[in-house]
Structure 1
Amino acid sequence: MSNNRRVAVIGLGSMGGAMASTLNRAGWDVTGFDPSEAAREAAAGTGISTTAEIGELAGTSYAVLSLPSAKIVEATVPVLLATPGTIAIIDTTTSEPGTSKSMADLAASSGAAFVDAPVSGGRDGAASGSLSAFVGASKDALTAAGPVLEALTGGQYAHIGGPGSGNVVKLLNNVLAAANLVSVGEALGVAKAYGIDPAVAATSISNASGGSKVSAAMYPTWVLSGTHDSGFSLGLMARDASLAIDVARQMGEEPELLAAAAGQWQHALAALGPSADFTEIARTVAPSITPAGAPKSSTDA
Structure 2
Amino acid sequence: MSNNRRIAVIGLGSMGGAMASTLHSAGWDVTGFDPSEAARNAAAGAGISTTAELRDLAGVPYVVLSLPSAKIVEATVPVLLSAPGTIAIIDTTTSEPSTSTSMATLADSHGAAFVDAPVSGGRDGAATGTLSAFVGATDTAVAAAQTVLDALTGGRYAHIGGPGSGNVVKLLNNVLAAANLVSVGEALGVAKAYGIDPAVAAASISNASGGSKVSAAMYPNWVLSGTHDSGFSLGLMARDAALAIDMARQVGEHPELLAAAAEQWQEALAALGPAADFTEIARTVAPAVTPAGAPKTTHVA
Common fold: TM-score over 0.5? yes
Report the residue type matching 1:24 in the other structure: H
CA RMSD across the alignment: 0.8
Paired residue secondary structure (2:9): strand
Q: CA deviation at 1:2?
A: 1.1
CA offsets, 1:220-270, max 9 Å, x none?
111011000000000000000000000000010000000000000000000
Match of 2:235 in 1: 235
Give the CA deviation at 1:297.
2.0
**Partner amino acid, structure 2, of 1:49:** S
Residue in structure 1 matched with residue 170 of structure 2 by the alignment: 170
| Letter paired with 1:202 | A
Residues 116 and 299 of structure 1: is their aligned pair in 2 closer, same or farther, counting only changes over 3 Å?
closer
In 1, Cα distance between the equivalents of 2:300 and 2:113?
A: 46
Aligned equivalent of 2:282: 282
SS of equivalent to 2:31: strand
Deviations 1:255-294 (A, max 9, x none): 0000000000000000000000000000000011111111
Structure 2 residue runs of 5 or longer lacking an equivalent are none
Q: Counterparts of 1:241 and 1:179 in 2: how far apart (Å)?
A: 9
Residues 1-301 of structure 1: pairs in structure 2 closer than 5 A = 1-299=1-299
Change (3 A) 1:70 1:180: same
Task: Name the TM-score, length of structure 1 as normaliser.
Answer: 0.99
Would the aligned equivalents of 2:222 and 2:279 in 1 still touch at CA under 8 Å? yes
Instruction: Give, in whole Å, the separation in 2 of the partners of 1:138 and 1:231.
Output: 32
- CA displacement, residues 39-77 of structure 1 (integer Å, 9 cap, x when unaligned): 001001111110011101000000000000000000000
2:50 partner SS: strand
- Measured in 2, the distance between the counterparts of 1:294 and 1:23 equals 40
2:66·2:92 contact (CA, 8 Å) conserved in 1? yes
Q: Which segments of structure 1 move beyond 6 Å, counting only runs of 4 or more? A: none
Q: What amino acid is the match of 2:212?
A: S
CA 1:126 to 1:255, structure 2 compared with 1: closer, same or farther past 3 Å? same
Q: How far off its partner does 1:213 sit?
A: 0.4
Using the alignment, how far apart are the partners of 2:8 and 2:71 within structure 1? 19
Give % identity.
Answer: 85
Structure 1, unmatched stretches of 5+, are none
> 2: CA distance between counterparts of 1:292 and 1:173?
27
Distance 1:25 1:53 in 2: 24
Q: Please tell me whether the aligned partners of residues 273 and 299 of structure 2 are also in contact (alpha carbons under 8 angstroms).
A: no
CA-CA distance at 1:79 after TM superposition: 0.2
Secondary structure of the corresponding residue to residue 298 of structure 1: coil
Separation (CA, whole Å) in 2 of partners of 1:259 and 1:246: 9
1:178-215 superposed Cα distances (whole Å, 9 cap, x missing partner): 00000000000000111111111111101100000000
C-alpha distance in structure 2 between counterparts of 1:297 and 1:24, whole Å = 43
The letter of the residue matching 2:17 is G
Deviations 1:10-29 (A, max 9, x none): 00000001100100111111
In 2, the alpha carbon distance for the partners of 1:197 and 1:60 equals: 54
The 1-side partners of 2:158 and 2:68 are apart by 23
Tell me, in whole angstroms, the C-alpha distance in 2 between the residues paired with 1:163 and 1:222.
35
The superposition leaves residues 138-161 of structure 1 with CA deviations (integer Å, 9 ceiling, x where unpaired) of 000000000100100000000000
Task: Write the distance in 2 (CA, Å) between the matches of 1:51 and 1:291.
Answer: 42
Contact 2:135-2:166 within 8 A present in 1 as well: yes
Give the SS at the match of 2:30.
strand
Q: Distance in 1 between matches of 2:96 and 2:189?
A: 35
Distance 1:133 1:213 in 2: 17
